[in-house]
Amino acid sequence: MFLTLAGFVVAILLLESDGLENWANRLEPGALRCVAQPVVSALNRVLQPLGIAEARDRTLDEAARLGWSDDAVRLARITPAQTTGAKSASSHSETSHATSAGMHPESGSVLIAAAEAPIVGSVPRSVSLAPLTPVEQGRPRVVVLAGDSMMAVGFGTGLMRKAGEDKNLRILRAFKSGTGLARPDVFNWLEQYPAMVGSEKPDVVIVAIGANDGQSFLVDGRVLPFGSEEWRKTYQSRVADFLAMVESSGARVLWVGLPPMRSEPFNQRISIVNRIAYTVVSRDPKASWWSTASFVADASGAFREFAETPNGGLVRLRAPDGIHFTEEGASTMMAILMHWLDPSSESSDAVRELPSANLQPRISNRPVPSPGEMPSSGLLLADRTKAPATLAHREQQR
């Protein structure tokens, strides 16, 4: 048993030494990072001459070429057409406070002001989505899905599946798990997003990001503690910079608010992240806020794990980690999102959704159906936050 475990550890060290270094770099500034970073960096330097990391990277590149990867950064790197377009795009992506190339001066002024605006005290649970311009005949609407694992897990997969059935929509992936806006020293979205999108000119960008941002970070060698006044203003500026960049091509932006989390300390941090993002997004006429709590939270707006189906069963809305959506949870939002992206889509009416019309976001001039008008396959609103013991036991055994 010991030899097996030791062999496993050695294999991980050999194959994932660069991954361990990335993990150490992502750690929040503190004692653990101070110890882990030099140790794994030294280990990675020792192992690099063996060429194992390069061989692994080439293998993953080949897998991506065969379509076996959803890593948008890797796909952008190995795709010549995107790489060419990315160089010119990334050259102006480092500009700040809404001065990205192609950004209308008025929009830039709005986002400069948004980066300095007082942070709101709360985020609304009910919003309106201004309708998009009609889809041009013969030209699918280009929609970019951007963000961290909140996009990659559940939400993005569900949306890609539904959009794949609609000839009027073309989806581009631009998400990367384990990233965020708080730590450009680890993953700089202002550089990486243009590389992911390349020469494409998206019509809509849907953003789900921020779950990894509830941490302290370094600025000019100083640690800014999470939630401090200086941290909040710096993060607010980074949100504004990112928003300016993604809409610099003229795209409309839909910012997906983070849902309530199971862990209360983590939920409090996410609440601050949401409030800062909403402060910026709500002041931008080209961006809209999407309240996910309207669909997956309980009546009080708190974390909810399960919902009841018409036949009395339970469906899991949130992943066992208490953070991400399940596809079933994401499906509660798909009908409205599909209707917003393409009002002519017939498939949007068949998507399963949660009939809590008093809380759901609405599309201006096109009201969301009332609960009585929902498809019979819809989920019923339930105030259950935990499953019965039998179902919970089955979930643990999966």
Give the pLDDT confidence score for residue 308 in this predicted structure. 87
Q: To 10 degrees, the CA torsion angle through 289, 216, 301, 144?
A: 30
* Cβ neighbour number for residue 4 with a 10 Å cutoff: 8
Give the pLDDT confidence score for residue 395 in this predicted structure. 37
Is the separation of the CB atoms in 197 and 89 below 8 Å? yes
Tell me the sheet residues that pair with 170: 142
How confident is the model over 249-265, as a mean pLDDT? Answer: 97
- CB-based burial of residue 123 (10 Å sphere; 0-12 exposed, 13-18 middle, 19+ buried)? buried
Find the range with the poorest average confidence among 14-28, 44-58, 294-308: 14-28
Tell me: the pLDDT tens digits for 330-372? 999 999 999 999 998 764 444 333 333 333 444 444 333 333 3
Residue by residue, DSSP assigns 100-130 as -TT--HHHHHHHHHHHHSPPPS---S--EEP
Question: At 213, is the pLDDT very low, low, confident or very high (cuts 50, 70, 90)?
Answer: very high
d(CA 100, CA 231): 23
Is the separation of the CB atoms in 355 and 179 below 8 Å? no
Tell me the sheet residues that pair with 219: 222
Q: Give backbone dihedrals phi and psi of 307, rounded to 5 degrees, phi first.
A: -130, 155
For the chain, what is the mean pLDDT?
78
Q: Which residues contact 90 (CB under 8 A, 6 or more apart)?
A: 191, 194, 195
Identity of the residue numbered 212? N
CA distances from 28 to 152, 212, 323 (A): 22, 10, 19
d(CA 324, CA 326): 7
- CB-based burial of residue 106 (10 Å sphere; 0-12 exposed, 13-18 middle, 19+ buried)? exposed
Tell me: the pLDDT tens digits for 79-135? 654 333 333 333 333 334 444 444 555 566 788 889 999 999 999 988 888 899 999
Strands (E), the chain: 128-129, 141-147, 169-175, 204-208, 217-219, 222-224, 252-256, 287-290, 306-308, 314-316, 362-363
Give the pLDDT confidence score for residue 309 in this predicted structure. 83
Largest CA distance in the chain: 66
Q: Report residue 335 as tokens.
A: 């009908």
Find the range with the poorest average confidence among 62-76, 85-99, 139-153, 264-278: 85-99
Q: Report residue 286 as tokens.
A: 């080209």
- More confidently predicted of 17 and 147: 147
Give the pLDDT confidence score for residue 24 in this predicted structure. 65
Tell me: the pLDDT tens digits for 19-46? 666 656 657 676 676 777 677 677 677 7
How confident is the model over 282-303, as a mean pLDDT? Answer: 94
* Cβ neighbour number for residue 91 with a 10 Å cutoff: 12
Pick from 51-60, 198-207, 361-370 the range whose average pLDDT is largest. 198-207
pLDDT at 238 exceeding the cut of 90 = yes
Tell me the sheet residues that pair with 141: 169
Give the pLDDT confidence score for residue 118 in this predicted structure. 95
How confident is the model over 389-394, as a mean pLDDT? Answer: 36
Q: Report residue 121 as tokens.
A: 């005290």
Residue by residue, DSSP assigns 261-326 as -SSHHHHHHHHHHHHHHHHHHTT-TTEEEE-THHHHS-TTS----EEE-TTS-EEE-B-TTSSSBP
Q: Which of 308, 312, 328, 309 is nearest to 377 (CA)?
A: 309
